Amino acid sequence: MPTRYAQRMAKVQPSAIGELLALGADPSIISFGGGYPDATLFPAAQLDAVFHEIIQKPGGASMQYAPSNGLPRLRDQIAGLMTADGMSCTADDVLILQGSQQGLDFAARMLIDPGDVIITEDPTFLGALIAFEPSQPRYAVVPVDAEGMQTDRLEAILTANPRAKMIYTVPDFQNPTGVTLSLARRKQLIALANRYDLIVLEDTPYRHIRFTGENLPTLKSLDTEGRVIHLCSFSKVLVPGLRIGWAVASPDILACMGLLKVAADTQTSTLNMAAASLFLDRYDLAAHIATLRAAYSAKKEAMLDAIRQHLPQDITATDPEGGLFTWLTFSEGFDTTDFMRRVALPQARVAYVPGATFFPLTPRANHARLNFSSPSLDAIRTGIAALGKALYANH
Ligand SMILES: Cc1ncc(COP(=O)(O)O)c(C=O)c1O
């Protein structure tokens, strides 16, 4: 019996490269594909201790239902972290989410009617497009260069798209390119959002994993009109399995997202919120993040060294100041999806994410996203050398 699905499901389709990425999960393949943190650096012993402690605590509060907008203590701790990052706020300004991914879903559901326009970077985070798609948006895209979204192109795009309601950006160490939005462009983006009455969805899961350079102010800290929804997450700096992210936004927006939270899942797991909260009380998150920074920075250097040494000279790689990814650009006409299927997986035994999938409107085939946080240093060197060999053999 054919099911009469709602229209919003029309574009909710499995990823065209899902089958290719599934092949990358084969343990005999070196994967630069997923956006995974390094599991060997998970603070497992500390999490073991905090989970034990919260479960043993008399009264069973950590196993009980909790307020839908999050445990008050955790909201307060997160407000402290956000305030330290230049976004002065209190617990009331924080909504705990099931990962920042849930904030992407809520933002679209809250703001987008079918046919409304979401402006994104080009390329952008695939998971955001997946979250936005059920709201049936149209997209307008802004190209990205070494300083992030080219905001000088934004005004023309806004004039051409009067139904633009929201602009989605990953300003720090963007997924997939690794680039960071410059300060001048941050200011220009906020000025245009004010002028064109846009909500800015600022997604910052990598922000605290900076290797070099100075921290730039968040868009939220530059927000004068309550237009920025700031999303952040413990996924990359603690563990993704906790599924804890949060939104900081103006009271009316946060209240609206809070209603969607009740509808979606009532609340984020009490156990996981209580564990995260006790972790912050007992241990030094900043010190843990410093360890991650050092490790990922060394891995990035190893990957870029190997790329310089082994890949054909016409292939360029971004040199991110933080985060988890570098972005390769091959010569025009090179198709990274086809190469992965025919050569990289079966011969080089290496996986990456073909770049075409990150472009909302017009896929460009000559890019690839490489993750350096998850593979070991050895795997990075071996994998890039194998990729280089395969590229020379098939160039
Ligand atoms: C840019 C970006 N936003 C959001 C997410 C979702 O993260 P979370 O685990 O907090 O849901 C990711 C995960 O990779 C990401 O890269």
Length of the chain, in residues: 395
Fold of 44-282: Aspartate Aminotransferase; domain 2 (3.40.640)
Q: What is the pLDDT of residues 82-118, one digit of tens each?
A: 999 999 999 999 999 999 999 999 999 999 999 999 9
Looking at residue 25, its pLDDT comes to 76
Among the atoms of ligand 1, which is closest to the Cα of residue 170? 1
> Is there a contact between 237 and 276 (Cβ–Cβ < 8 Å)?
no
Distance of CA 39 to the CA centre of its chain: 18
> Is there a contact between 267 and 68 (Cβ–Cβ < 8 Å)?
yes
Question: Residue 122's closest CA among 147, 99, 101, 150?
Answer: 150
Range from 5-19, 43-57, 141-155, 231-245 carrying the lowest mean pLDDT: 5-19
Looking at residue 11, its pLDDT comes to 84
Q: How far is the CA of 1 from the centre of ligand 1 (A)?
A: 37
Average pLDDT over residues 111-131: 97
Q: What is the pLDDT of residues 316-352, one digit of tens each?
A: 999 999 999 999 999 999 999 999 999 999 999 999 9
Q: How far is the CA of 145 from the centre of ligand 1 (A)?
A: 21
Give yes or no for residue 242 having a pLDDT over 80.
yes
Q: What is the pLDDT of residues 294-305, one digit of tens each?
A: 999 999 999 999
What does the DSSP 8-state code read for residue 175? T
Question: Residue 353's closest CA among 175, 209, 232, 203?
Answer: 175
Q: Give the model's confidence band at 353: pLDDT under 50 very low, under 70 low, under 90 confident, else very high.
A: very high
CA distances from 26 to 33, 62, 291, 376, 377 (A): 12, 37, 29, 16, 19
Nearest CA to ligand 1 atom 13: 35
CATH number (3.40.250.10, 3.40.605.10, 2.60.15.10, 3.90.1150.10) of 7-43+287-393 reads 3.90.1150.10
Mean pLDDT of the chain: 96
Residues flanking ligand 1, CB < 6 Å: 35, 99-101, 125, 127, 170, 175, 203, 205, 233, 235, 240, 245
Give yes or no for residue 290 having a pLDDT over 90.
yes
Tell me the H-state helices in 59-199.
Answer: 72-84, 99-111, 126-132, 154-160, 183-195
Q: Which two tokens stand for residue 11?
A: 């574009």
Question: Residue 22's closest CA among 351, 273, 386?
Answer: 351
Q: What is the pLDDT of residues 255-268, one digit of tens each?
A: 999 999 999 999 99
Q: How far is the CA of 190 from the centre of ligand 1 (A)?
A: 23
Q: What is the pLDDT of residues 187-234, one digit of tens each?
A: 999 999 999 999 999 999 999 999 999 999 999 999 999 999 999 999
Sketch the domain layout of the chain as residue ranges: 7-43+287-393, 44-282
Looking at residue 380, its pLDDT comes to 98
Q: How far is the CA of 206 from the centre of ligand 1 (A)?
A: 9
| Residue-wise DSSP of 209-230 | -B-SSPPPPPHHHH-SSS-EEE
Looking at residue 22, its pLDDT comes to 79
Among the atoms of ligand 1, which is closest to the Cα of residue 174? 1
